[in-house]
Amino acid sequence: MLNQNPLWRYLLVVGVLLLALVYAMPNLYPEDPALNINATRGGAVSENTRQQLEQAFVSAGITPKAVTLEAGQVLARFASAEDQLRARQVATELLGNVNYVTALNLVPTTPDWLAAIGASPMKLGLDLRGGVHFLMAVDMKAALDKNINDLTQAFRADLREARVRYRSVTADTERGQVQILLRSAEDVAAARAALARLDREYVFTDGAAEFSLNVSLSENRIREIREYALNQNITIIRNRVNEIGVAEPLVQRQGADRIIVQLPGVQDPAQAKEILGATATLEFRLVDDQGDLAAALNGRLPPGSSLYYDRNGQPYLLENRIMLTGEHITNASSSYDEYGQPQVNISLDAQGGNQLSQATRDSIGRRMATVFIEYKPGEELQADGTPVLIKQEEVINAATIQARLGRSFRITGIGNPAEAQNLALLLRAGALIAPTQIIEERTIGPSLGQENIDLGMTAIMWGMVVVLVFMVIYYKVFGLIANVALVANLVLIVGIMSMIPGATLTLPGMAGIVLTVGMAVDANVLIFERIREELAEGRSVQQAIHQGYDRAFATIADSNITTLLVALILFGIGTGPVKGFAITLAIGILTSIFTAVVGTRLLVNLFWGGRRVQSLPM
Amino acid sequence: MRIFRFQQAINFMRFKWPALMLSALLVLGSLGLLAVKGINWGLDFTGGTVIEAGFSQSADLSQIRTVLAESGYPDAVVQYFGSSQDVAIRIAPRDGVEQSRISNEIMAALAKTSDSQIEMRRIEFVGPSVGAELREQGGLAMLVALLGILLYVGMRFEWRLSVGAVLALAHDVIITLGLFSLLQLEFDLTVLAAILALIGYSINDTIVVFDRIRESFRKLRDSTPEETVNDAVTSTLNRTVVTSLTTIIVLIVLFTMGGALIHNFATALLFGIAIGTYSSIFVASGIAVQLGLNREDMLPPPPPEKEGEGTEPLL
C-alpha cells in the first residue's frame, strides 16, 4: 500500500526529536550569578578556604545557594546579582587580591540528571554575554632581531676561543644575518669551519666585502624561533589572564603569529589591556646572609640591602646589586636531575653568561635569589582613565651557588615537578623575547549583551509567529503539519547547537535562526505545491502525495546543497559572530530538510496515507 | 488558498528582452555608482575604532565633538546610534604607536562631557592590517562561492543554465552592492555574511526553477524552448512567491526588531531577496534561453529514484 511507513521509522524520528529536546532543555534553566575564587601562581585553594568563605558570606548576611570546591577553585552561587557583587567584596576583604583572584561568573543551573548525560546550555558568543575579544600579534621581527644580536655576541666569543682573528663582527638585522670581517682568506675558512662545528643550522654566504663572511639561520631554526616566541607569549598571556579574574578565559593561537584572547564578562577593557600589556621582568640578586633579618623586619635595613618576600610571605634580605636581569635568559625548561629530582635548566645569551660568570666568581656557596617583578593595575586611576600600575616584586626561588655559573646553569632542590614547571614558566615570562600588540579589539558591555539576547529572542519569536500564521492560512491543515515541522526544526537547531562543543550562539547566529525559520518552510512549500499540481492533473490522493514528496525531494536536495556550500565558505572565512551565523545557517539547512522531508511525510502518511480519501485539506 | 491560479503557462519569455534590458541598466547603474561613490566600508574593512557609549540622558553631540577635539580627536565622527541616549564615535585609523589605547582615552574624555552616567556599550578596534586581510578574505570568499556554485550547477545541469544562474547571482550581488553605494550604508562583516547568504538563497531559488525546466523539457516534447521555460516558471511561480514572501516577512521582523547592530544585515538580505526573486524568474532562464538552450542539450534523465531512497541517508 502506498504512503505507509513501518513503525520503526516513526520511532526513529520521535527518538531523534526527543533526544534534541532533552539536549535543548538546559537552555530553559536560568543561570546563577556566581563567584569563582582561584589561587594565583600555581597555588591552590583548600577545603579550609571554602569553609572560611562560606562563614564570611553568612556573617555578612549573604546566603549563598551553594559554596563548592571543584577543580581547584571555589564556586559560590548566589540568588541575585546584588548578592554576588557584595559577596565579591567580602571575598576580596577576606583573602586579599594578591594571592587569590575572584571572578564574577554566570553558571548554568542544569539539573544533575541532565548534566549527567552531558547536556549543557548553548555557549553564548561575546556579543551576547558581554566581554572582551582581543587579537594580538606577536612582533616576530623583534624576536628574530634579538636572536641575531645574541648571535653576534656569541660569535665574538666563539671566534676568540677558536683563535680566529677577526676585524669585526656586526649584526645586520635588516637582512637577518651576522657580518664577520676577517683579515685573510684562510681566516675566512677557519672562521667558517669553527662556527659550522658549533651549530649545523648556520647558513654561510660570502660577504660583498673582501674577506667577509655572512652567517644567517636556516629556515628550520627561524621557524623554531618564531614558534618559541609565539608559545612563550601564549603561556605568559594565559598566566596573566588568570590574574584578571575571568571565569572562562580563552587564549588560543591563530595562524603563525597571532593570539586570540577572549575574556567573557570583563567590565573594564582598559584594565584587561593593561594587564595583558604589562611587562614582567626578572632579577637575580645575592641573598645578604650577613645582614640581620630580624632587625631588617623591624625597619633597620643594613646598607646595600632590601627586604623581599616570597609567595608564602617568607622574608628575604637581598643585596641591592643586581647580578643579572631576565632579558638575558634565552630559554628555561624543567626536567629531572640524575637522582630523579625536579630541576630547572636555564640558558643565557653570551653577554648574560659573561655577567653571571663575573658575578658568581667570588660567591660560590652563597645563595642567589630570583625575583619576579610584575606590574599590576591598582585601584587608582591615571588622568586618561587607565589604572596606575603597581610594581610587585616576589622572590620565586633562592638557591645556593654550587660553582661559577656560565651561559647555562640549573636550579635544583625544587620541591616537586609542578613547582619546577611553574618556575620555568615564570623565568620565561620574565624574559619575554617578542612583544605583542593588540591589533583587533571587540568589546561588548554587559548591558548591550543582554539587550542583544532580548532583541534576538523577540525577532525569533515574532518571525516564528508570523510564519506559523501564514502557513495555516495558506495551507490549512497541511500548514499545521508544516508548522509542527517548523517548531521541531527550532528544537533540533537548539538541541544540536547545545550538543556541539564548538558551536557558539552569536547575534548574527540568531539572525541566522530567524532566516532559517523563513527559509525552512521552503521545502514544505515545494512539496505541497507539487502535491497540489499532481492533484490538479487528476491523480489520486495517494499518488499525489507519493509523487509530490518524491519529485520535490530531488529539487530540495539540489537547491539546499548550494546554500550549504555557501554556509561552509562563510564558516571558513568568518570571525566570531559571522562564524556563528554560518553555523546556525548550516545546521538550520540540514535540520529543515530532515523535518520537512522526513518528518512531515510521516505525519501526512499517518493521517491520510493508505486510506480512501477523496481530497486533501490544503 | 492560493496566490496564483493559472490555466495555462504565462508567457514570461515575452518579457525576456525588457527584463534583460532593465537588469543590464540596473547592473550598469550599480557599477557606475560603485565606481563613482564607492562603498562606505565599515570598520571591519578599513580599520579604526568605534566606541558606542550609553548616556543616562539625551547626549549632546556638539558638546561631545568639542570635548573630543580638545582631547586630540578632531576627526572623530559622532552620531546617535539607535536612540538619542546612545552615541557612536568613529575614529579613523592613525599612525600612532598604541592604537588600542584610543578607546581608553575616548572613554576618559567622554566622562568629562556631562554629569550623566556614561556606560561603555561597545568598543571595536580593528588594526589596518587586519582590515586589509578581512577585505581580501571577503572578496575571495565571494569569488569562491560563485565559482563553487558555477561548478556545482555546471555539473548538475547544462552549461547554459549554469552560466545563466551565475550571471543572475552576480546580477543580484552587484545591484545589492549598488544600493549600499547609493544609500551609503555601512558595509561591514555582517553585510558580507548577508551577501553570501543572499547568494545561497538566490541560487536555491534559481535551481528550483531550473529543475522544473529540465523536467518540462522531458515532458513537453513538441514545444519550443521558450514555451518550455514558460511552463516551468509558471508552475513554480506559486512556490517562488510563497517562499520569498515568508522569508521577506521574517526579514521585516528582523529589520524592525533585531536592533541597530543587524540593521544593515537585514537591509542587504531584504533587498537582495526581492531582486533575487525577480532574477530567478526573468533573468536566469532568460539568459539560458538566449544562449541557445534546447531539448537536445539537456542531460539524459537521471535514473528514477525508488521511494525513500534519497531519504535514508538523512536519518
Residue of A nearest to B128 (CA): A439
Domain assignment present for B242: yes
**Cβ of B196 and A597 within 8 Å?**
no
- Residue A322's beta-bridge partner residues? A285
Q: What is the mean pLDDT of residues A568-578?
A: 76
Q: The sheet that has A131-138: what strands, in order across it?
A: A250-254, A258-264, A131-138, A436-444, B118-126, B48-55, B83-91, B77-81
Q: What is the mean pLDDT of residues B140-168?
A: 84
**From the CA of B304, how many Å to the nearest CA of chain A?**
10
B110 and B218 part of one domain: no
Find the range with the poorest average confidence among A332-341, A450-459, A585-594, B294-303: B294-303
Contacts of A550 in chain B (CB under 8 A): 305, 307
Residue B302 lies in a domain: no
Q: Do A563 and B204 touch (CB under 8 A)?
A: yes
| Integer angstrom CA distances of residue A279 from A196, A245, A313, A608, B251 | 36, 18, 23, 73, 49
Q: Does B221 have pLDDT greater than 90?
A: no
Contact A562 B200 (CB under 8 A): yes
pTM of the predicted model as reported, rounded to 2 decimal places = 0.78
Residue type, A197: R
Where are the strands (E) in B83-230, listed by range? 83-91, 118-126, 186-187
Which residue on chain A is closest to B250 by alpha carbon? A463
pLDDT > 60? residue A154: yes
Q: How confident is the model at residue A126 (pLDDT cuts 50, 70, 90)?
A: confident
Assess whether B18 and B167 both reside in one domain: yes
Determine contact: A451 vs chain B, CB below 8 A: yes
Instruction: Determine the distance in angstroms separating the CA of B280 from the nearest CA of chain A, rounded to an integer.
Output: 13
Please determine, for residue A259, whether its predicted confidence score (pLDDT) is greater than 50: yes
CB contact under 8 A, B105 and A384: yes
Domain assignment present for residue B308? The answer is no
Same domain for B172 and B226: yes
Cβ atoms < 10 Å from Cβ of A408: 12
CB pair distance less than 8 Å for B239 and A439 = no
| Residue B112 domain boundaries | 48-126
pLDDT of B311 strictly over 90: no
Q: In terms of DSSP bridges, do strands A212-217 and A177-182 run parallel, antiparallel, or are they unpaired?
A: antiparallel
Verify that B34 and B55 share a domain, yes or no.
no
The phi and psi torsions of A449 (rounded to 5 degrees) equal: -55, -50
Q: Could you tell me if B99 and B123 are in contact, meaning their C-beta atoms sit under 8 angstroms apart?
A: no
Q: Strand, coil or helix: what is B220?
A: coil
Q: What are the chain A neighbours of B165 within 8 Å (beta carbons)?
A: none
Contact A577 B254 (CB under 8 A): no
How many structural domains are present in chain B? 2
- What is the per-residue DSSP string for A422-450? HHHHHHHHTT--S-EEEEEEEEE-HHHHH
Sign of CA dihedral A491, A493, A498, A504: negative
Q: Strand pairing partners for B209?
A: none
C-beta of residue A202 within 8 angstroms of C-beta of residue A196: yes
Q: A342 φ, ψ to 5°?
A: -65, 145
Q: Is residue B104 located within the same domain as residue B118?
A: yes
| The pLDDT of residue B309 is above 50 | no
Q: Count the neighbouring beta carbons within 10 Å of the beta carbon of residue A614.
A: 6
B100 plus B174 within the same structural domain: no
Instruction: Say whether both B114 and B177 belong to one domain.
Output: no
Q: Measuring CA to CA, which residue among A332, A344, A397 is closest to residue A368?
A: A397
- List the single residue in A with minimal CA-CA distance to B210: A555
Cβ contacts (< 8 Å) between B153 and chain A: which residues?
562
Interchain contact A135–B (C-beta under 8 A) = yes
**Which residues 469-508 of A are in CB contact (within 8 Å) with B?**
470-471, 473-476, 507-508
Q: Which of A571, A595, A565 is nearest to A583 (CA)?
A: A571
Q: Each residue of B265-292: pLDDT tens digit?
A: 999 999 999 999 999 888 888 888 888 8
Of the candidates B1, B124, B315, the beta carbon closest to that of A12 is on B315
Which chain B residues touch A475 with a CB distance below 8 Å? Answer: 1
Whether A254 has a pLDDT exceeding 70, the answer reads yes
| Domain shared by B205 and B274, yes or no | yes
A 215-274 residues with CB below 8 A of B? 269-270, 273
Query: Assign residue A585 a region: left if phi > 0, alpha if psi is -120 to 50, beta otherwise?
Result: alpha
Show residues of chain A in contact with B144, CB under 8 Å. Answer: 569
Radius of gyration of chain B, Cα coordinates, nearest whole angstrom: 25
Task: Determine contact, residues A135/A258, Cβ cutoff 8 Å.
Answer: yes
Q: If you ran DSSP here, which 8-state letter would residue B92 be given?
A: -
- Shared domain check, B176 and B155: yes
Residue B262 belongs to some domain of the structure: yes
Rounded to the nearest angstrom, the minimum Cα separation between A548 and chain B is: 11
Provide mean pLDDT across the span B244-269: 89
**Per-residue pLDDT averaged across A230-253, rounded?**
81
pLDDT at A583 over 80: yes
Domain membership of residue B315 (yes or no) is no
End residue of a domain, out of B97, B126, B155: B126
The pairs formed by A58-62 with CB atoms below 8 angstroms and a separation of 24 or more are: A60/A86, A60/A87, A60/A90, A62/A86, A62/A87, A62/A90
pLDDT recorded at residue B183: 94
Residues whose CB is less than 8 angstroms from the CB of residue A543 and which lie 6 or more positions away in sequence, other chains included: A2, A534
Same-domain pairing of B243 and B141: yes
Lowest mean pLDDT segment, chosen from A57-61, A216-220, A300-304, B83-87: A300-304
Residue B312 lies inside a defined structural domain of this protein: no
| Domain identity same for B135 and B275 | yes
Q: A471 contacts in B (CB within 8 Å)?
A: 246
Q: Contact B15/B281 with Cβ under 8 angstroms?
A: no
Strand partners, A253: A259
Of residues B143 and B171, more confidence is placed in: B171
> Residues near A493 by Cβ (< 8 Å), separated by ≥ 6?
A513, A516, A584, A587, A588, A591
Q: How far apart are CA A130 and CA A448, in angstroms?
A: 7
CA of B118, closest CA in chain A: separation in Å? 12
CA separation, residue A298 to residues A12, A292, A293, A302, A314 (Å): 78, 10, 9, 11, 15
Q: In this structure, what are the phi and psi dihedrals at residue B174, rounded to the nearest 5 degrees?
A: -65, -40
B240 and B265 co-located in one domain: yes
CA of A221 to nearest chain B CA: how many angstroms apart?
27
Read off the CATH number of the domain in which B117 is found.
Answer: 3.30.70.3400
Q: Percent helix, strand and coil across chain B, each rounded to 5? A: 65, 10, 25
Nearest residue of chain A to residue B310 (CA atoms):
A553
Give percent above pLDDT 70 in chain B: 91
Please give, rounded to a whole number of angstroms, the shortest distance from the CA of A60 to a CA of chain B.
29
The H or E element containing residue B269 is helix B263-278
What's B157's domain CATH number?
Answer: 1.20.1640.10
* Residue B12 or residue B306, greater confidence: B12
CA distance, residue B279 to nearest chain A CA (Å): 16
Contacts of A4 (CB under 8 A, 6+ apart): A605, A609, A610
- The verdict on A439 touching B (C-beta cutoff 8 Å) is yes
Judging by DSSP bridges, how do beta strands B186-187 and B40-41 pair with one another?
parallel
Nearest Cα residue in chain A from B124 = A442
pLDDT for residue A378: 56
CB contacts < 8 A, A to B, total: 253
Pairwise CA distance, residues A318 & A374, whole Å:
18
Which residues of chain A neighbour B168 with C-beta distances below 8 Å?
none
Residues of B in contact with A260 (CB under 8 A): none
Element (H, E) at A289: none
Calculate how close chain B gets to A300, using CA atoms only, in Å. Answer: 43
- Residues of B with CB below 8 A from A565's CB? 145, 148-149, 152, 200
- Using alpha carbons, list the distances in angstroms from residue A563 to A566, B99, B263: 5, 39, 22
List the beta strands (DSSP E) in A327-406.
329-336, 342-348, 367-381, 387-400
Query: What is the predicted pLDDT for the residue at A48?
Result: 84
Q: What is the pLDDT of residues A76-96, one digit of tens each?
A: 898 888 888 888 888 878 876
Question: CA Rg, chain A, in Å?
Answer: 33
Q: Evaluate whether residue B155 is within a structural domain.
A: yes
Domain assignment present for B6: no
Please state, for a pLDDT cut of 90, what percent of chain A lies above it: 10
Q: If you average pLDDT over residues A209-217, what whole number do you get? A: 88
Give the separation between CA A106 and CA A115, rounded to whole angstroms. 16
Residue in B with minimal Cα distance to A126: B122
Option in A448, A517, A577 nearest B121 (CB): A448
